[in-house]
Amino acid sequence: MAFLANALSRVKPSATIAVAQKARELKAKGRDVIGLGAGEPDFDTPDNVKNAAIEAINRGETKYTPVSGIVPLREAIAKKFKRENNLDYRPEQTIVGTGGKQILFNAFMATLNPGDEVVIPAPYWVSYPEMVAICGGISVFAATSIDNGFKLTPEALEKAITPKTKWLVMNSPSNPSGAAYTEAELRALADVLVRHPHVWTLTDDMYEHLTYGDFVFRTIAEVEPALYERTLTMNGVSKAYAMTGWRIGYAAGPIELIKAMDMIQGQQTSGACSIAQWAAVEALDGPQDFVARNKAIFQGRRDLVVSMLNQARGISCPVPEGAFYVYPSCVDLIGKKAPSGKVIGNDEDFVTELLEAEGVAVVHGSAFGLGPNFRISYATSEDVLEEACTRIQRFTGSLT
């Protein structure tokens, strides 16, 4: 009898974590490696947020918290949704978890039965289908394309829905593509969902504050109030507030779902770190001016990377609306030979040869469900990005 659970056979390791680990290992061996695989801002957590955590420690806020989060944070979350998203949630309709991952996992665990289907647009964040698999569900991938900006169309959504569909997962702006949905695009998808009342929407808005130019962020329950009672709106402090290590995610939705998620979390981890929760209160309620400053820096980095990649032979890189990723296509390089003599058969070969030849670590697009592409995180300095893109240009130019 096998000791490990059968569920593990349905789950793959995180490709993004694997790439970051590979880059660290090569650096430890003395290789000159530029790692562009990690999905976290390179900015430091704002001082007012750090000070709020210190003050919480000094006040003795170091005990267990309620499973769903401290009251001041749940109140801050409700205010945030009203202030920024025109969504009315009572504090008891909110929940705080140890990062956005736990929120998502709890939602799937609370709702999925074996055979239930979850529609996930591809490319997708690597953890969505693995979470669904662990919880016994079946992921149904709705393909997008570079031609429509990697966005789910109403036609593709309609085709993916069956009587077994329980959730649609929406991630805007998207990891890995940076694609973000306009109000009109969300309206068209909402029209499909209204016709299928058994389908709920789990909207991952983690990159909400990182949109560029004149793009206006909207979330689907805001666009279509008829979906309010079957939408879980998820967010967190990781990206906008440079608080990845603090591990605070949150969500709001119908009270019955929140209670079910609370019950699961109560038997799993209980409440998130008390000190991190008090820091998150300050992040949401405190000054927001640094968000715009960081966003402007990210936009400059995006423009640099897109420009340089589109000058690389055989690379086509669309301009993303948000997040801090680009998702260029390398389809024109498939079949070419690398300096090592290896023929590039797919995007995984491409990123492997790029790492070996030039020491640039990126993530292959097939890990996100759509290739041949690769993901670059531009959450690092312009000097580093310019050097990395120069190396990519040199590598693509060396292919024969």
Count other C-beta atoms under 10 Å from residue 320's C-beta: 26
pLDDT at 6 over 90: no
The type of residue at 222 is E
Residues 6+ apart with CB under 8 A from 395: 353, 354, 357, 358, 360
d(C-alpha 400, C-alpha 80), whole Å: 53
Strand partners, 252: 94, 233
The DSSP symbol for 321 reads S
Q: What is the DSSP letter of 272?
A: P
- When comparing pLDDT for 109 and 22, which is higher? 109
> Would you state the torsion angle of the CA atoms of residues 292, 297, 301, 302, taken in this order, to the nearest 10 degrees?
10
Identify the sign of the CA torsion 43, 44, 45, 48.
Answer: negative
CA 317 to CA 376: how far, in whole Å?
A: 11
What are 233's two structure tokens?
């709106």
> Edge to edge, what strands does the sheet with 363-364 contain?
325-326, 374-377, 363-364
- DSSP-based three-state secondary structure for 310: coil
**Predicted local distance difference test score (pLDDT) of residue 115:** 95
Q: What share of the chain is helix, strand, coil (3-state, %, to 5)?
A: 45, 15, 40
End-to-end alpha carbon distance in the chain: 51
Residues in the chain: 400
Average pLDDT of 105-128? 97
- Confidence at residue 10, expressed as pLDDT on a 0 to 100 scale: 82
Residue holding tokens 């340089």? 308
Are the C-beta atoms of residues 285 and 82 closer than 8 Å to each other? no
Identify the three-state secondary structure at position 375: strand
Amino acid at residue number 112: L
pLDDT tens digit sequence for 18-72: 777 878 888 888 889 999 988 889 999 999 999 999 999 999 999 999 999 999 9
pLDDT at 392 over 90: yes
Check: CB of residue 372 under 8 Å from CB of residue 350.
Answer: yes
| pLDDT tier for residue 102 given thresholds of 50, 70 and 90 | very high
Residue 276: the pLDDT is 98
Q: Kindly state the tokens that stand for 210.
A: 């990182």
Radius of gyration of the chain (CA): 21
Read off φ and ψ for residue 324, nearest 5 degrees. Answer: -135, 45
C-alpha closest to that of 357 among 370, 341, 346: 341
Note whether 307 and 197 are within 8 A (CB): no
For residue 138, pLDDT over 80 is answered with: yes
Contact between 181 and 157 under an 8 Å Cβ cutoff? The reply is no
pLDDT in tens, 228-268: 999 999 999 999 999 999 999 999 999 999 999 999 999 99
Residue 393 confidence class, pLDDT cut points 50, 70, 90: very high
Q: Provide the 10 A C-beta neighbour count for residue 184.
A: 9
Percent of the chain with pLDDT over 90: 91
pLDDT band for position 7 (cuts 50, 70, 90)? confident
More confident: 75 or 29: 75
Asked if the model's pLDDT at residue 15 lies above 80, the reply is no
Complete domains list, the chain, with CATH: 6-44+290-398 (3.90.1150.10), 63-285 (3.40.640.10)
Q: Residue 234's beta-bridge partner residues?
A: 204, 251
With contact defined as beta carbons under 8 Å apart, do 377 and 37 qualify? yes
At 156-208, the pLDDT tens digits run: 999 999 999 999 999 999 999 999 999 999 999 999 999 999 999 999 999 99
Averaged confidence pLDDT in the chain: 96
Q: CA–CA separation, 218 vs 227, rounded Å?
A: 14
Q: Is the pLDDT of residue 273 over 90?
A: yes
Q: What is the pLDDT of residues 277-303, one digit of tens each?
A: 999 999 999 999 999 999 999 999 999
All residues at 6 or more sequence positions from 82 whose CB lies less than 8 Å from its CB, including other chains: 88, 89
Stated pTM of the model: 0.95
